[in-house]
Structure 1
């Protein structure tokens, strides 16, 4: 990753994460097909909802015949973290046109957010619309195509868990966390690892008392606050 912020570089920077999208997209397509969804519905869900973890939640709730309101609420809670991510990215696009900002926010994902945070370490805290939009679009279309292919393959794979495909999402986030830690030169590694440990502990304890869909948002806010305290007190 370098300090160039054009569209071509956006495509190049996104390519390493594409393999993660392919793996998770295939997993979702296979799971969706195994749950009774047609390949068309799987592709439409990926194009409209466009949220990996949220889509897995939707499929599981549809299979259990949950009410429409409960599905909508669950998807909102799962994706509520995107509000925090969008607020973090927004200041870098104050001078952009409104529709540029809306487009970036609409297609923002965990992966492109993490990619942009890594990019900031190389560009003196600047981002551009061509770079970010290319990264988002590459991820978006890769996700849809991978989901569709997964649904088509689902005719031959009836038990996704047998191949560990349900772990693909977790594995990708672990990889993104590793890339963020090694790329960020502005903070000491000890501080970053301490915050990661605190976050893991909060998640572990929180699962006892808080529904998992809401826990991500709660732990995100708590970890940010505790991270600031740890930074100023210990580092």
Structure 2
């Protein structure tokens, strides 16, 4: 095992916490925004916190609250929530090679978010299989608790925060997308990843511009995945000679 791999795996609990800390800068502001939005829509403080604890799905939570308040049928609420989260069908196969055949992974998938997925692809290849579960639990729980904490803050004190600092309401929606972009861009080191990012980003922007924001995220994920797998990676001259 390389020195880099050893240093990452020497204390997976500590490494997971260290990797998750930057996520708080994106999670808490957006969670505060959700907490404020949910309470203003008519949900109670406890209900709002429970939504973040058990649904824990970012954009899907905003859609869930909006559809429930508008009186949408339960089946439509469920379908739309699942549609937005359909990107996890792409996440699963990509991280599966790094997971052991352990039933404990099944409930822990509740902690999987876009940002944890990006961290997983970066960290797990450099860890021993026995350390991956501990790293994932550490990073995932910290991210999850920060989302719940931010939601509670927004639900309880969101109005006061916005009243005192009005600019916050303009900045909050950009915190999480900006964080995810910063985490994903370093992977765009070759033609395949760059085209994938461009395809996904362009798809999302066009759908939003043409008035289809609810399907922008899943459609972008699907288009990006198709682009990634459609592009054939040519072996280098060294690989061909070997």
Tell me whether the two structures share a fold, i.e. TM-score over 0.5. Answer: yes
Pair member with larger Rg: 2
Cα distance in 2 for partners of 1:223, 1:176 equals 15
In structure 1, stretches of 5+ residues that fail to align are none
Match of 1:153 in 2: 157
Cα distance in 2 for partners of 1:143, 1:134 equals 15
Match of 1:42 in 2: 48
Change (3 A) 1:20 1:203: closer
Cα distance in 2 for partners of 1:151, 1:90 equals 36
Does the CA contact (< 8 Å) of 1:29 and 1:149 recur in 2? Answer: yes
Does the CA contact (< 8 Å) of 2:33 and 2:172 recur in 1? Answer: yes
1:1-235 alignment, distance < 5 Å: 3-4=8-9, 6-95=12-101, 97-98=102-103, 100-120=104-124, 122-123=126-127, 128-156=132-160, 163=167, 165=169, 168-182=172-186, 184=187, 188-189=189-190, 191-206=192-207, 211-230=212-231, 232=233
C-alpha RMSD of matched pairs (Å)? 3.1
Cα distance in 2 for partners of 1:163, 1:33 equals 20
TM score, norm. by length of structure 2: 0.79
Cα distance in 1 for partners of 2:177, 2:205 equals 17
Give, in angstroms, the shift of residue 230 of structure 1. 4.2
In structure 2, stretches of 5+ residues that fail to align are 237-242
Does the CA contact (< 8 Å) of 2:115 and 2:183 recur in 1? Answer: no
Cα distance in 2 for partners of 1:156, 1:134 equals 32
Cα distance in 2 for partners of 1:124, 1:169 equals 37
TM score, norm. by length of structure 1: 0.81
Cα distance in 2 for partners of 1:71, 1:222 equals 24
Does the CA contact (< 8 Å) of 1:181 and 1:189 recur in 2? Answer: no
Between 192-201 and 166-175, the greater mean CA deviation after superposition: 166-175
Cα distance in 1 for partners of 2:38, 2:171 equals 15
The count of aligned residue pairs is 229
